[in-house]
Amino acid sequence: MVDYIVLGRFQPFHNGHAYLLNRTFEFAGENDVVIAIGSASKGWESNNPWTFEERKLMIEAWLKSHNKTATIVGIDDINDPPNWVKHASKHHGDGVLVTSDEGTKELYERDNFPVEFVDLDNRENLEGWRVRQTLLMLSTVYDDDAVREVLTATVPRPVIDWLIENDAIFRLSTMVAGVNVG
């Protein structure tokens, strides 16, 4: 059995992540899927508004709604790209990385790590910072149906529900620095 690994910050889990995971489950077949959440020790700051545990819960809500299972692990940042794959592998293990990010693909391939590259349509609209900007704009809207309507284009419904039910959108309005591009 070979693990299929998806790596991301999931700040928040959005439709680009959902597409990537759906493709990963296709590649994996009967093999296990590992979801590695980067920046695991970050949270409650403008560029990383949700903690590892909150991001894990978002992903679990999506997995449950799709009757899928995966192992979810956290990986702390080391800010050392040449040593990233060795560091991350200690957490996500060996297997095949599935990614839609060209830089991540190149980094893993340089370390002879097997990679499946997935082209992501509409990538520019599904970048985490854009989704966070939308959430920031919605952070003071108290009409849950309106929030759901706007977010449906970029965030899966189970994650939207989780964000609303856990007041995880409102927090963005309280972050003085706003949501940074990054």
Give the tens place of pLDDT for each residue, 45-60: 888 999 999 999 999 9
What pLDDT does 182 receive? Answer: 43
Low-confidence winner among 144-148, 157-161, 166-170, 176-180 (lowest mean pLDDT): 176-180
Residue 177: is it exposed, middle or buried by C-beta count within 10 angstroms (0-12/13-18/19+)?
Answer: exposed
Segment 135-156 shows an average pLDDT of 94
The alpha helices in 29-143, defined as continuous H runs, are 52-65, 81-92, 102-110, 128-138
Q: Say yes or no to pLDDT of 160 above 70.
A: yes
Helix (H, G, I), strand (E, B) or coil at 6: strand
Q: What residues contact 1, with CB distance under 8 A and at least 6 apart?
A: 30, 31, 32
Q: Residue 175 in contact with residue 45, Cβ under 8 Å?
A: yes
Give the tens place of pLDDT for each residue, 60-84: 999 999 999 999 999 999 999 999 9
- Which among 181, 13, 16 has a CA at the least distance from the CA of 98? 16
Q: Say yes or no to pLDDT of 161 above 80.
A: yes
The alpha helices in the chain, defined as continuous H runs, are 15-28, 52-65, 81-92, 102-110, 128-138, 144-151, 157-165, 170-173
Low-confidence winner among 16-30, 55-69, 114-128 (lowest mean pLDDT): 114-128
- Is the whole-model pTM more than 0.85? yes
Q: Say yes or no to pLDDT of 178 above 60.
A: no
**What is the C-alpha to C-alpha distance for residues 127 and 28, in angstroms, rounded to an integer?**
25
Buried b (16+ CB within 10 A) or exposed e, 13-40: bbbbbbbbbebbbeebeeeebbbbbbbb
Segment 154-163 shows an average pLDDT of 97
Give the tens place of pLDDT for each residue, 76-107: 999 999 999 999 999 999 999 999 999 999 99
What pLDDT does 180 receive? Answer: 44
Q: What are phi and psi of 96, to 5 degrees?
A: -120, 125
What pLDDT does 1 receive? Answer: 85
**What is the C-alpha to C-alpha distance for residues 136 and 138, in angstroms, rounded to an integer?**
5
